Amino acid sequence: MGQIIRGPFNLIYGGNTLSEISSLKFNYSVDTTDTATVQGHKKRTYGAHEVTVTATFLESDIPSLAIALPQYFVANGSVLSTGETVTDANGAIDIVPGKTATATGSDLLIEQSAETSSSYVLRVLDAISEISSVSLDEKSEMVDVEFTGQSDLATIQMFLKDAISVLS
């Protein structure tokens, strides 16, 4: 089976393009329940679906993280959870437990950046973002952000770029 999305790719969240992504890890799971009948047959029932995409950011600058983690962004002139006022024009990231519970989901689009006649898009609907790890060393800082689909309509959609009509 061939890949539907081939790199290099663009990652778009909330209408904003995220850059300096070194890798994407895609995970899809479905809850199942197996039931055995009296005759010894097994029947499988499919339940909840979950999709997560983990993006590793090579550049963990404030503007990039503000797009990926909007629930933790604190604008210039606003106050951090610890009481200090942000004085940088780019703002700050203030990771406060519980903020994800009030976050509003946005569609996450993964699309081929090479323009071809068959460029595909993979869309995770109503994705909520959460920081999942930070790696620091003397040469780099990498941040992993996990996007989890929350839609009641569909978990993922795959389609040819510009091949679906806009909902009116």
Q: What is the CA radius of gyration of the chain?
A: 19
37 part of a folded domain: no
**Residue 10: predicted pLDDT:** 83
27 part of a folded domain: yes
Residue 57: closest CA among 93, 11, 94: 11
d(CA 15, CA 70): 12
Mean pLDDT of the chain: 86
- pTM for the whole structure: 0.82
d(CA 28, CA 51): 4
- Is residue 115 scored above 80 in pLDDT? no
Strand partners, 67: none
Strand partners, 26: 53
Q: What is the domain count for the chain?
A: 1
- The domain of 71 spans 9-31+47-160
Could you identify the residue written with the tokens 């778009």? 12
The per-residue pLDDT for range 13-30, each reduced to its tens digit, is 999 988 778 888 989 999
- Is residue 77 scored above 80 in pLDDT? yes
For position 26, which CATH number holds? 2.30.110
Helix (H, G, I), strand (E, B) or coil at 10: strand
13 part of a folded domain: yes
d(CA 17, CA 10): 7
